[in-house]
Amino acid sequence: MDSAQDRDPGALDDLLDGLVAEYSDRVEAGDHPSHREFLRRAEPSARPGLERCLKIIDAGNEPVGRAMVGPGERLGRFKIQRELGRGGMAVVYLADDPELRRAVALKVLRPGLALDESHVDRFVREGRAMARLNHPGVVQVFEVGRTGSVHWIAMEYVPGPSLKTVIDGLHAGGHGTAEGLGRMVQDPSLAEFASLEAACAQFLKGPTEGLVAAHDAGLIHRDIKPSNILVHAGGRAVLADFGLARADGDPGMSLTGEPIGTPHYMAPEQAEAASRSVDARADVYGMGVVLFELISGMRPFDGTTVLEVLDAIRFEIPKTLRAVAPSASANADAMVALATSRDPEKRYATAEAFLGELDRLSVGETTEARATLGGPMRRFFAGVGAVFSSRSSEYRSAATFLGIPLLHVVGAPVHRGPGALLRRPKTAVGWIALGPRAIGGVAIGGLSLGVLSSGGLAAGLIAGGGLSAGGLTAGGLSVGVRAFGGLAIGDVALGGLAVGRGAIGGMAIGRYTLSGGDSIGPYAAYAHLPERSDPEVYGFFQSEPAPLRDIYLGIFGEEFAEAAARADEPK
């Protein structure tokens, strides 16, 4: 059987681009990822080429004998001043442009990566893609060049921090404020907004306008994230790093079944290991996640490994904004929910539509998302219904009490793909909890624990299940004050085999026993032998609450009613 690379000669390059970018980012962050983790995500035929690239990255990160440029050296007409930062693919320097007398940021491809033409091609594509745009919301590219074996891009120098740094500082030690955001980005006007979410919306309008311009030029960014949004002094934010950009109609940059982008901000169609088309709505998804994180300081999905994050994006309903940031408005909550919808068809159709919503949110107007998604009840039923679809597995209500969701639903385990293991189902924990494992006030599941509980194994004040334990229980095996089951043990027990002070069953053992078969106890009554019925037995069961008397009447019919009436007659 031919591999994916045999079917598409360009697939290997695209596969390496995605995995190599991810590996490089993790190495630069100080992580030490194993090659095996990445190799197992590629088809066997692609692994030798992938491993070579990973080794090249390792070599490119070695400091000794690898520095090809440094302060005082020139690349083209640009004179390097100092290093600004390092990314997985490149090193960025502050440089001087003597002709135009301005500072520029010089992005230099790492020496190790320059050994592979696919990475050189990706680097040059980034420069050309950004050079096509001339918008204040996008970092400007001045020149793409090569000096000897060194590939570089000269671009606008942004002296401020990245949005990632802003978010970390804004939410450090507590909830952020509009004033805090204004201080972090050096824009005092943001402090005048009525809420943090309004200030965040205003702040993100600039880079979103840049994204609209990119889409109008036929470019899809595909790696929207806070570290790719840079902040000028005065608060002007610009979109940077088009290294994964794809031009419409460019077959060399299309997806080939491997995720491309940063995991936490990937749209589900990017995270899925399948050849799904990716369009501008994937960038809208990324912007929705950025807005979520800027307001709350958290991300909709997280995990201890990249695979866990990708798994969550593919199979789980994202956290609602208000679930992690209760002060957020229904407008902001609905806007984020619509932007990060799993189905691209249900998201904002364009970045321009998302931009319009930012404008409404910034001035406190009702967002179109809120009108589209409806009120709490409509969203509740939509969320619960999504859990039982083939592509969803979890729903948490935005409303909580004592920090616990009012409703938490976990669907059945979802299969990852041919030959893959089943996902382990999560435990549903909420005041109303439904799932394979459920804990809550009202719990329904294969294994459930709650005040009112129903499941294969159930424990609670009122419990129904194959094996149930509680105050009032019903199950194959039930133990409780009132027990109904094939085997029932309790103060009052009804079952095929019933053991209790008051027992009803095919075989009943207890002080007061009522049976259609065997009955063992000092006071026994037989439904099919009225002459052997003891009035004291019926008197005991007649004293039960009315709903239970109805159950006994349903089991033994008129004989129970007549005998119970005789038991009430004065002695």
Distance CA 313, CA 269 (A): 9
Specify whether the backbone of 75 is left (phi greater than 0), alpha (psi in -120 to 50) or beta: beta
Separation CA 130–CA 183 (nearest Å)? 29
Q: Is 223 a catalytic residue?
A: yes
Whether the CB-CB separation of 331 and 369 falls below 8 Å is answered with yes
Instruction: Considering the candidates 8, 223, 241, 283, report the single residue annotated as catalytic.
Output: 223
Tokens encoding 458? 């159930």
Q: Tell me the CB-side half-sphere exposure of residue 366, using CA atoms within 13 A.
A: 7
- CB < 8 Å & 24+ apart, contacts of 192-199: 193/362, 194/364, 195/327, 195/329, 195/364, 196/295, 196/327, 197/295, 197/328, 197/329, 197/332, 197/361, 198/361, 198/362, 198/363, 198/364, 199/362
Q: Report the alpha-carbon distance of residue 217 to residue 322 in Å, rounded.
A: 35
* Helix, strand, or coil (residue 570): coil
Rounded to whole angstroms, how far apart are CA atoms 3 and 472?
59
Query: CB neighbours of 460 closer than 8 A, spacing ≥ 6?
Result: 443, 448, 449, 450, 451, 452, 453, 470, 471
Distance in angstroms (rounded) separating the CA atoms of residues 285 and 498 = 58
Q: Which one, of 186, 210, 195, 185, lies nearest residue 363 by Cα? A: 195
What is the SS3 assignment for 296? helix
- Residues whose CB falls within 8 Å of the CB of residue 55, separated by 6 or more in sequence, listed in order: none
Q: What angle do CA 346, 350, 353 make, to 5 degrees?
A: 90
- Burial class of 507 by CB neighbour count within 10 A (0 to 12, 13 to 18, 19+): middle
Q: What is the signed CA dihedral for 374, 375, 379, 381, rounded to 10 degrees? A: -110
Q: Residue 360: which of 215, 219, 208 has the closest Cα? A: 208
Contact indicator for 108, 84 with CB cutoff of 8 Å: no
What are the residue numbers of the active site?
A: 223
